[in-house]
Structure 1
Amino acid sequence: MTLHHVVDGPADAPVLLLGGSLGSDVSLWAAPARALSERYRVVRFDHRGHGRSPVPPGVWDVADLGRDVLALLDHLGVARAHYAGLSLGGMVGMWLAAHAPERVDRLALVCTAAFLPPAKGWLDRAAAVRAGGLASIADAVLARWFTPGFDPGPAPRAMLLGTPADGYAACCEAIAAMDLRADLPRIAAPTLVIAAADDLAIPPALGAEIAATVPGARFAVVPGAAHLAALQRPDAVTDLFARHLAGEVVGDAAAVPTATRHAAGMAVRRAVLGDAHVDRAVADTDAFTADFQDLITRYAWGEVWTRDGLGRRERSLITLAMLATLRSGEFAVHVRAALRNGVTPEEISEVLLQVAIYAGVPAANAAFAVARRTLAATGEETEPT
């Protein structure tokens, strides 16, 4: 299957893929493509089940949509490209950057989320579309695409109504099953996350969580726009794209807005420590410990671990040294976290050698014992100490 696509710009220019939202087609990106095609070979595409792309039978997931994009790159003979996606397109972009990092150069994620519950809402929407077509939900969708009072003209409604019902419904079901949160720490592409200030479909807080979890990501908010920011504020979105693709430092990384600090901290905490550990901590929280749990989520995870001065890997190495010195009961937890952050068993051993010199052999000896048990439980090979 080859996705329907439109190519603009010089044949020898760097390639920029543009992926659209649920219920959109290549016309979503018309204005940004005109501006960006002066410098880039801009490839706009329709997701499967959208626009003029095929509507294959069966159940899909976001990985299927991502593999469609990889097939499109192969079809075009492109080894590596920039990627920008809005909403569903951004979800596909996160999957691509995590699972095919060698194909993604720079990444821009617009008005999107890594996890968008409740699943029942998406399944109900899919059922409604299959029963009554896109017309049955058009008014509700359009109301969230743009801010009140903004007149987009008739084109967006026609674009939505032109989407195949089965394709739209299948993508709703894919979003219902999607959870990309564990993929975010694996994204190595320089990433810009863009939210729209008045987006009710995917509020800025969800974009902030992505920016807080993707290593080194930047975060920017477009004012005066709702969910389809690329249509309502194409000037602002295009400017952010152009600067990011050119390698400029765009947006904010060190300071996630205060209102989203807890949410951003929880996202990083889960990415580093794992859902199982955090779920246990949340379940054990009571009135006596609630303020403490909020404190460490907002400040340890939402303030320090989200900063871009050090990477996650470096923070894990430092944390291991300090916890080994303190003979903390949390040392094993952070051994597992370090592995998630790309630290090797050999590097953990080097850290503990440093601990032995500067904090004492007994502390290092105890930490080596805990580390060996923890690494063995995770399947990592270690040599006898």
Structure 2
Amino acid sequence: MTVQILNYRTEGPASAPPLLLGPSLGTSYALWDKVAPELSVTHRVVRWDLPGHGGSAAGLIGPGATVGDLADLVLALADSLGIERFAYAGVSLGGAVGLQLAVDHPERVESLAVICSSAHFNGAKAWEERAERVRREGLAWLVESANARWFSGDFTVPELVRDHAEADPEGYAACCDALAAFDLRDRLGEISARTLLIAGRDDPATPPAQLREIADAVPGAALVEIPGASHLAPAQCPEAVLTALRAHLDGGAKRGMAVRREVLGDAHVDRAQDRQTPFTARFQDFISRYAWGEIWTDPTLTRRERSMITLTALVAHGHYDELAMHVRAARRNGLTPEEIGAVLLQTAVYCGVPAANSAFATAQRVLAEEDE
């Protein structure tokens, strides 16, 4: 039996860090048309459609749906693409999905950006009434006011208005049910992912005060307000949204660079940076972002333990120049010369005596240099 998943579009290198982009109610992944291609230079971008919107089947959710149901659909999509941990950014209902993912599945969310959204959407009554009327009359009455609800001034995006008109009423109404039931205000303090809030200063649906409420409750969260932006900021002010998202998403590389310097030392990292060329720049970014920003910062293992594993792996593969660097790193991470010797002795058993012989020679030289 084939399991249906959300309709989606991917952009960017398959090996790049994954970034999931969620849409607003009434739109499709076209909401991200002016932003996703730029983000795909450094990320594997996956943008998706809500049930009953764009190419997603309305039957993926039904009456009484919750934002948690939508979050489960996003996780199923990520699983189908082999994506375990990801950065996430979402607008309005898409932002609410991101908040739900961050509180219920913190191990999956690397970072979070919530755009023109809220931890609640002003109570259930208005959404219940909207859902009931959409089921009874369809969407024509709502499409007429789309520009006023979504954009400031005379700005419009005809493709998004068309998406609104073509949305399935049942799928749209089920999404309204999800908004009616949504309220995460008492759980915002549980969010551990790096979090950015982006507010449209002219947004009547989710005004800046609602984003500020989230920023005040989520530990370490940052808030950016975009002048001239209404509810669909990525469509109306894409450059401002891009600037904020790029700075936020770079946090992994910055954190990784800090850890890299702590473990390997400023002198080594400075030399690596000085040798960097346009040809090697993406590889250096990959090292800082993934190896140091994700693996070495994972609290499951201590840095001492990671040093011992790294020494063993380098001996096994005969990478003795790298071994010298990581003997120095092991000392910074608290290993004594005796402990380093014990690790290398273990490699003699499992990696071979010749490999361990070369490793001992390399380590002895490095330790002697440190003593001097």
Shorter-chain-normalised TM-score: which range?
A: 0.5 to 0.7
Specify every segment of 5 or more residues in structure 1 that has no aligned partner in the other structure, as ranges. 250-385
Which residue is equivalent to 1:25? 28
The total of aligned residue pairs comes to: 249
* Alignment partners' CA distance in 2, 1:82 and 1:75: 17
| Corresponding residue SS for 1:42 | strand
Q: Check if 1:247 corresponds to 2:251.
A: yes
Q: 2:181 aligns with which of 177, 184, 199?
A: 177
| Corresponding residue SS for 2:148 | helix
Which residue is equivalent to 1:370? none
Q: CA deviation at 1:139?
A: 2.0
Measured against aligned partners, the alpha-carbon deviations of 1:203-259 in whole angstroms (never above 9, x if no partner) come to 10000000000111000101111000110001110111111000189xxxxxxxxxx
Measured against aligned partners, the alpha-carbon deviations of 1:100-130 in whole angstroms (never above 9, x if no partner) come to 0010001100000001123111111112211
Q: Check if 1:138 corresponds to 2:146.
A: no
What amino acid sits opposite 2:8 in the alignment?
H
Which residue is equivalent to 1:353? none
* Alignment partners' CA distance in 2, 1:27 and 1:121: 27
What amino acid sits opposite 1:46 in the alignment?
D
* Alignment partners' CA distance in 2, 1:144 and 1:245: 29
Q: Check if 1:207 corresponds to 2:211.
A: yes
Q: 1:225 aligns with which of 229, 234, 240?
A: 229
What amino acid sits opposite 2:244 in the alignment?
L
* Alignment partners' CA distance in 1, 2:77 and 2:158: 30
Q: Check if 1:90 corresponds to 2:83.
A: no
* Alignment partners' CA distance in 1, 2:137 and 2:78: 35
Which residue is equivalent to 2:44? 41
* Alignment partners' CA distance in 2, 1:190 and 1:179: 21
Which residue is equivalent to 1:77? 82
| Corresponding residue SS for 1:137 | helix
Which residue is equivalent to 1:349? none
Which residue is equivalent to 1:147? 152
| Corresponding residue SS for 2:16 | coil
Structure whose CA Rg is larger: 2
| Corresponding residue SS for 1:3 | coil
* Alignment partners' CA distance in 2, 1:237 and 1:62: 24
Kept in 1, the 8 Å contact 2:78–2:84? The answer is yes
Q: CA deviation at 1:185?
A: 0.6
* Alignment partners' CA distance in 1, 2:145 and 2:196: 29
* Alignment partners' CA distance in 2, 1:213 and 1:203: 17
Q: Check if 1:237 corresponds to 2:241.
A: yes
| Corresponding residue SS for 1:85 | strand
Kept in 2, the 8 Å contact 1:128–1:136? The answer is no
What amino acid sits opposite 2:27 in the alignment?
S
Q: CA deviation at 1:183?
A: 2.0
Q: Check if 1:2 corresponds to 2:41.
A: no
Q: Check if 1:61 corresponds to 2:72.
A: no
Kept in 2, the 8 Å contact 1:19–1:46? The answer is yes
| Corresponding residue SS for 1:83 | strand
* Alignment partners' CA distance in 1, 2:11 and 2:118: 28
Q: 2:104 aligns with which of 82, 95, 99?
A: 99
Kept in 1, the 8 Å contact 2:192–2:219? The answer is yes
| Corresponding residue SS for 2:215 | helix
| Corresponding residue SS for 2:90 | strand
Specify every segment of 5 or more residues in structure 2 that has no aligned partner in the other structure, as ranges. 254-372
* Alignment partners' CA distance in 2, 1:46 and 1:156: 12
* Alignment partners' CA distance in 2, 1:139 and 1:63: 30
Q: CA deviation at 1:157?
A: 1.3
| Corresponding residue SS for 1:168 | helix
What amino acid sits opposite 1:113 in the alignment?
S
* Alignment partners' CA distance in 2, 1:50 and 1:59: 18
* Alignment partners' CA distance in 2, 1:177 and 1:141: 23
* Alignment partners' CA distance in 1, 2:157 and 2:220: 38
Kept in 1, the 8 Å contact 2:67–2:97? The answer is yes
Distance change in 2, residues 1:220/1:226 (3 Å): same
* Alignment partners' CA distance in 2, 1:153 and 1:189: 32
| Corresponding residue SS for 2:225 | strand
* Alignment partners' CA distance in 1, 2:68 and 2:205: 22
TM-score (normalizing by structure 2): 0.65
What amino acid sits opposite 1:142 in the alignment?
N
| Corresponding residue SS for 2:58 | coil
| Corresponding residue SS for 1:174 | helix
* Alignment partners' CA distance in 2, 1:96 and 1:69: 9
| Corresponding residue SS for 2:188 | helix
TM-score (normalizing by structure 1): 0.63
Decide which moves more: 51-60 or 175-184.
Answer: 51-60
